[in-house]
Amino acid sequence: MTGTSARVDAAIEERFDDYLDALFELLRRPTVSSTGTDMEREADLVGEFVARHGFDGWTRLETDHDPLVYAERLAEGDAPTVVFYGHYDVQPAEDEAAWDSPPFEPTVRDGSIYARGAGDNKGQFGAHAFAVDALLAADAAPPVNVKLLLEGGEESGSHGLREYLAGEASEIADADLVYIADGPMHRSRRPTLIYGHRGILTLELTHRTANTDLHSGNFGGPVPNAVNELVEVIDSMQVDAGDRVTVEGFHDDIEVTESDRELVAAIPTDEAAIAEELGLTHFATDRPYYERLLLEPTLNVNGFTGGYGGPGGKTIVAHEASATVDCRLVPDQDPDAVFERIREHVAGVNPDVDVTKGSAYPPTRTPVDAPVADDVRSALEDVWDESAVEMPVLGGSLPATFFRDVPGLADVPVLVVPYANPDQTNHAPNEHLDLDCFENGIRTSAAFLRRFGGED
């Protein structure tokens, strides 16, 4: 460890309790974008937070949706530019009785911070701000333009971010890298570097036959059952218990490189442990776990509604049914094209079934040989003292692909570097961020910035 690195680490250690207090201020705010809980005021509080931790003021970027918070610290002369992206909105707490402590009263127990938003995403974007603060305190700020872009609607469609990026987005148009700390690291708890993310397409299938539910003794047989017919449509779209999608054209435009396959083959996998943890008796596929998860698209039925599901029995012919579906897409699939293929398939099986498109994000990826990845990887491995797990894409979906809509950023590297523990339970009760992950996240951002600026 160099003398400078030691000073930075000492600054983080000295200020760590203050960083926890500042994070707790954010975590106490119920910034639930789906309900619009005073998000206008929350943006100001987030802006004040980043301005206290090394950034030269901040700006509200207004949209027709929730405002974005933008802050920067610019270096003198010609310097590389990184944009740290995150989001200050959170998922609803849902059933607060299922939490062991109140979701918006951050609590430390058993080495973890428990609160809604601890890992997703306030603790992770907070790590970037605290890293800048620690670098300044250690007199070790590198020649890097550091820009922070935080949105307030990631959990409800990122409409504000997408609106901003569809314009000139002049504040970030000079970015050399978009760096996203979001999601959990690999289940092995080794540091994780991800070169993109899968896309997503959501849709709803609805079907109606008669104008009301009917007595199965009086009408069953000749009168069509909406549940039966919708099940038939869903069954026609996949085989092998959902492992293979059979919609014609669904797999068009997929490009899997040899580098992708090499990364996936190197991901540590313990399928027996995963099955035991999840209480599974079997997997839906015989193919290797991460190969199926990361390199192939899916068509997944989220839920199905129709007929009678209450206690006892009710002998009816159901007249309506609906199903919600999501498709996780891999590079270079186009969500609009996939939707059209599904719509055409459903019409061919049963033209009376309506197909409605929901939200959609395209997939995105960065070449695994992008030079800037070396700076991220070395920072991760030095801080965590372990080799990094590298993945071609994140299994989930992010709005990161829309950064490529900005003029001048069509080829900008986008890297996902999760700092949260693999069992963070984001989107569920008892969300938590381990203290060591939080501290190492701060250290990683600081170490990366020094490497990015050519200081280490």
Q: Of all residues in the chain, what percent carry a pLDDT higher than 90?
A: 89
Residues 455 and 202 sit within 8 Å (Cβ to Cβ): no
How does DSSP classify residue 63? -
Helix/strand/coil for 322: strand
Q: What pLDDT is attached to residue 434?
A: 98
Helix/strand/coil for 295: helix
Residues 158 and 85 sit within 8 Å (Cβ to Cβ): no
Q: Of all residues in the chain, what percent carry a pLDDT higher than 70?
A: 99
Number of H helices, E strands in the chain: 12, 21
Position 169 pLDDT exceeds 60: yes
Q: What is the pLDDT of residues 144-164, one digit of tens each?
A: 999 999 999 999 889 999 999
Residues in the chain, total: 456
Q: How far apart are CA 367 and CA 388, in angstroms?
A: 17
Q: How far is CA 350 from the centre of its chain?
A: 34
pTM summary value:
0.92
Position 181 pLDDT exceeds 80: yes
Domain architecture of the chain: domains with CATH: 3-197+363-452 (3.40.630.10), 199-254+296-361 (3.30.70.360)
Q: What is the pLDDT of residues 204-241, one digit of tens each?
A: 999 999 999 999 999 999 999 999 999 999 999 998 87
Q: What pLDDT is attached to residue 414?
A: 96
Give φ, ψ of 107 to 5 degrees: -135, 135
| DSSP output for 101-165 | S-TTS-EEETTEEESTTIIIIIHHHHHHHHHHHHHHHTT---S-EEEEEEES-GGGT-HHHHHHH
Could you tell me the pLDDT band of residue 38, with boundaries at 50, 70 and 90?
low
Position 40 pLDDT exceeds 80: no
Could you tell me the pLDDT band of residue 268, with boundaries at 50, 70 and 90?
very high
Could you tell me the pLDDT band of residue 349, with boundaries at 50, 70 and 90?
very high
Q: What is the pLDDT of residues 185-210, one digit of tens each?
A: 999 999 999 999 999 999 999 999 99
Instruction: Provide the mean pLDDT of the chain.
Output: 95
b or e along 410-435 (b: 16 or more beta carbons within 10 Å of the residue's beta carbon)? eebbbbbbbbbbbebbbeebbbbbbb
Position 404 pLDDT exceeds 70: yes
Q: What pLDDT is attached to residue 1?
A: 57
Q: What pLDDT is attached to residue 195?
A: 97
Other beta carbons less than 10 A from residue 231's beta carbon: 16
Q: What is the pLDDT of residues 243-262, one digit of tens each?
A: 899 999 999 999 899 999 99
Find the range with the poorest average confidence among 6-10, 33-37, 165-169, 445-449: 33-37
